[in-house]
Structure 1
């Protein structure tokens, strides 16, 4: 009996030590030792996305209506968003616009209805704008090829390794003298223009983003392609 009591005492102490030393569940509340104050959970799965003079933030709101507001605290400005009760525990997003073309660093945290703060997290955005837009140029043709007996034109372009090409739009005349508007999403360096009328003009517009996940595509001016 004494052995069983000692074992029970030992297991109880180990459990008490585990509870005391374990980190609190940060998803829906953060507890202070010897305190009856419950703090709101922090936002989870935060995904920041840069944009054209704006940014987007995706996240999961902590459950149980523990958080009432989202706070973005920057160096000079603080932005506060209300959290509707019906969105508690769900995925959501927010946008901030009218920004400058520069980098922004924010501390992001939630507040409960008492104004108590969650754990703070840091996020960084690099906003792009007209300066980035002016650096873009329409891709140049590296080579062209038409197979014998075919009217399809194959164009190979010099890539733009500094940016991500997300779309290309072509306008050309086909063998039936019809103007063709051809749009390609996520194009490669090689493009085929079907039934191209030999010698006719080809115009192109390219759409770029600076980074994977950027939310706004920036388009170049329409350009008359010079074929080699």
Structure 2
């Protein structure tokens, strides 16, 4: 029995020795090339959109052994190397990658140390690169279709636009100024309108908008072509020095020679008193008066009428126009129910049927019909006055042509 215990003990010791020797050999084999070392990786990669290029902004690795960074894309076929210049996580390394296609990429960033050991790869996926396809789909900022522009009293023009897309950065306005020089101004994305103080009336205004694909983009993209802004019309006052009296059959007479129709274009300012007014003879109402503006206006657009300072002011009257008086004479009196139809048959156009709800004294401006025919001769048909009398009194008439 004693001998059997001795044999078992010897066998156990031998087994332990053999086992320890095997593990030791395996461990040494595992460490024969040294411990695997991974340099520190970068953090917080931010992609910056660009025109056939992109930017990758990232915080450097805090590992002081890192000497460079390699960025790979296209399944690691293409790459770019950047030297490590900082190990502070608060710094930012900015890398521009040029000569890309308009495509969506995945970029891989690796840190390397001096021994060529590389870090765990960090990916920047779904990085979109922009180019001609993106630019071709851009549209110019829409103008305000309800009121595209306002012509101010001082002659300046205000252009009105709708709310832009959030990535709009500005719109270039190209126009001809009063010195006949083509010039440009920029409408900021935050602004809804822009004023052109030196716009040359009648010339075209062009506009082209610019955008960025996303906030922080490297590049700005502009719409390929300029668009033409709606035609801007300004209003030029008709030259009263050319106005002349015309008397057609059945036209109203004046109260006296000193209150003639010509008082309506003597450039008086505000309601006038007798005798510095037109004063009809009061024979009947409705009545009509006629005058020549001295030249043809192709887009007569507005009239302003000023009444007398006290009484007999028209509160209902019509404005008629024609370009040639040949065969234009009406035979009926203006108070005849058939006068209007006869006037139309003779070629006259009703430019405006005006109703005033005040006392008729102060200047009041009215828009005439859109797209009128050419007009040289005007007929005012007075239908009613605020006093209800047969007389009609007015101080001034002013017309504007749209151009």
The normalised TM-score by structure 1 is 0.70
Q: Which residue of 2 aligns with 1:42?
A: 41
Q: Residues of 1 paired with 2:192 and 2:119: CA distance?
A: 48
Q: Residues of 1 paired with 2:227 and 2:156: CA distance?
A: 21
1:56 Cα deviation after fit = 0.7
Q: Residues of 1 paired with 2:83 and 2:182: CA distance?
A: 51
Q: Which residue of 2 aligns with 1:107?
A: 108
1:108 Cα deviation after fit = 1.8
Unaligned runs of 5+ in 2: 1-33, 233-403
Q: Residues of 1 paired with 2:114 and 2:80: CA distance?
A: 13
Is 1:202 matched up with 2:201? no
Q: Which residue of 2 aligns with 1:93?
A: 94
Choose which of 139, 142, 145 in structure 2 pairs with 1:140. 142
Q: Where does 1:79-228 land on structure 2 (aligned, <5 Å)? A: 79-84=79-84, 86-89=85-88, 90-124=91-125, 125-142=127-144, 143-146=147-150, 148-159=152-163, 161=165, 164-220=167-223, 221-227=225-231
Q: Given the superposition, is the C-alpha separation of residues 38 and 185 from structure 1 closer, same or farther in structure 2, using an over 3 Å criterion? A: farther
Partner of 2:55: helix, strand, or coil? Answer: strand
Larger-gyration structure (1/2): 2
Q: Is the 8 A contact 2:112 2:119 kept in 1?
A: yes
Q: Is the 8 A contact 2:40 2:119 kept in 1?
A: yes
Q: Residues of 2 paired with 1:121 and 1:149: CA distance?
A: 63
Unaligned runs of 5+ in 1: 1-34
Q: Given the superposition, is the C-alpha separation of residues 150 and 66 from structure 1 closer, same or farther in structure 2, using an over 3 Å criterion? A: farther
Is 1:60 matched up with 2:62? no
Query: Which of 188-197 and 94-103 deviates more?
Result: 188-197
Higher RCO structure (Cα 8 Å, ≥6 apart): 1
Query: Which of 203-212 and 183-192 deviates more?
Result: 183-192
Q: Which residue of 2 aligns with 1:3?
A: none
Q: Residues of 2 paired with 1:59 and 1:185: CA distance?
A: 31
| Length, aligned pairs only | 192
Q: Is the 8 A contact 1:67 1:83 kept in 2?
A: no
Q: Residues of 2 paired with 1:104 and 1:57: CA distance?
A: 12
Q: Which residue of 2 aligns with 1:22?
A: none
Query: Which of 64-73 and 129-138 deviates more?
Result: 64-73
Q: Given the superposition, is the C-alpha separation of residues 152 and 144 from structure 1 closer, same or farther in structure 2, using an over 3 Å criterion? A: farther
Q: Residues of 2 paired with 1:185 and 1:42: CA distance?
A: 42
1:177 Cα deviation after fit = 4.1
Q: Given the superposition, is the C-alpha separation of residues 151 and 44 from structure 1 closer, same or farther in structure 2, using an over 3 Å criterion? A: farther
Partner of 1:131: helix, strand, or coil? Answer: helix
Query: Which of 108-117 and 64-73 deviates more?
Result: 64-73
Q: Residues of 2 paired with 1:119 and 1:199: CA distance?
A: 67
